Amino acid sequence: MKSQSINLPLKPKDSTTSKTFSLQIVDGADHARAGVLRRKSLFDVTLTDDVRKDIEALWGEPLDAGAHVARILEEVEQSGDEAVTRLSQRFDNSSYDRIEVTEDEINEAFELVPREQIDAIEFAVNRVRHYHREQLRHAPKTFEARGVGMIVRPLQRIGIYMTGSDAALPSSVIHTAVPGVVAGVDEVIGVTATQADGRVSPLKLVAARLSGMAKVFRASGAQSIGALAFGTDTIPAVDKIYGPGNVFVTLAKQQLFGRVGIDAIYGPTETMVIADETARIDLVAADLLAQAEHDRLATPVLVTTSRHIAEATAEEIEIQLQILERSEVARAAVERGGAVVAADLDEAIVLANEFAPEHLALLVKDPVALVPKIRNAGGVFLGESSPEVLGDYTAGPSHVMPTGGSARYASPLSVLDFLKITSIVSFPDHELRRQGGYASTLARMEGLSAHALSIERRIDGT
């Protein structure tokens, strides 16, 4: 049953910063920048006592997260399959004999997953595929003009980190693999954590097969990223690695950048909702909680022109938390986020552009009018009929989006991330002579006489 919004008068606040239930409310842009909208480093993580003890037991000495990942990658580079299996089974508390998932296991997954769920996965795959096929039509094309041009080709082999261990996330498989398949990548492979019995979630396998993934391997965490980068006897090395993961996966991608292609460095999910006085309180709260339940480190933020909206949303969140299966996780995330009372929608947009959220939802009277003013967001969701949750599953654009403020310069995952461009130069003799003198002069200006002579010998014929 849908929770009903409430409009009870709340106790007046006597300071610029206050906390109503789990949701912190601040007034004005300055207080927002100093608190709710102040970002922390993606790698400023505090490991739990259990994790720190496990790391020390593994290596015989205490290590921070970065050093721990570096040791894992060194082990994988030196010992290949043995290290990948040993470390994956240790961290996943699992047991299995075979790294590659068999065709029989994939076929069995289709028997284990209810038809209704297969239909939902297939629907999402078709929506995401259709969107990216249209996107490919507008992608750069091979051309040559006046002796210069470029060749646009897909990558040959890519690796997908199939995120989700405690919870299977088939949608992430779809939204990461399908754009690569549509782009024309020769081979798309996946790596994934397993269940305790060594089996891969059948939901992931169904999503992998319907998305066009060629092979799936049992390997998790930083060690799986190392396997994709270095290659092992079983897991082939790839040209580029894609997909979000936990802090250890993220650190592994960061440390391997340059050795292998990396799509991006992703942090916890984040959503900003801009709401005016016309917004439905229950929908505002629902959209914030939908992202909050992902992760304790998720960041749900409300920016509103009405303090009443902020306070009523805070109360509504408490009501809706009572019916969520992951209420403890969602509550922790809500406490990390907050609500900002802005002077007007213009100030709200200024704050949104500064924060550059992964997701920006516009629950306002005229959302279309705000779009031209938005410069920095991974995805923009307009009005009550376009919730961000549709973007997570069936809208079409990949839900793998820039986080941590990187929407200032980065884009959602697209077919472009699976293509590469090779420049082509092919001049006739007369064009060499037309350009050569200028090129030779520039080379000698830079003190590069061998460069100049490479041109001059051609022109002079000596």
Active site residues: 358-359
Closest CA to 130 of 397, 418, 390: 397
Residues 73, 84: Cα–Cα separation, whole Å: 9
Instruction: Please say whether the beta carbons of 329 and 293 come within 8 A.
Output: yes
Residues 4, 125: Cα–Cα separation, whole Å: 33
Taken in order 299, 44, 41, 346, the sign of the CA dihedral is positive
Q: Dihedral angle at the C-alpha atoms of 266, 268, 269, 271, nearest 10 degrees?
A: -110
Structure tokens at 447: 């003190």
Spell out the residues 6+ positions from residue 255 whose beta carbon is closer than 8 angstroms to its own.
66, 69, 70, 73
Residues 162, 208: Cα–Cα separation, whole Å: 9
Single-letter amino acid code for the residue at 412: P
Place of tokens 């900003």: 272
- Burial class, 446, CB count within 10 angstroms (exposed 0-12 / middle 13-18 / buried 19+): exposed
Burial of 289-304, coded b for 16+ CB within 10 Å and e otherwise, reads: bbbbbbbbbbbbbbbb
User: DSSP label at 174?
Assistant: H
C-alpha radius of gyration, the chain, whole number: 26
Write phi, then psi, for 265 (nearest 5 degrees): -105, 110
- Burial class, 114, CB count within 10 angstroms (exposed 0-12 / middle 13-18 / buried 19+): exposed
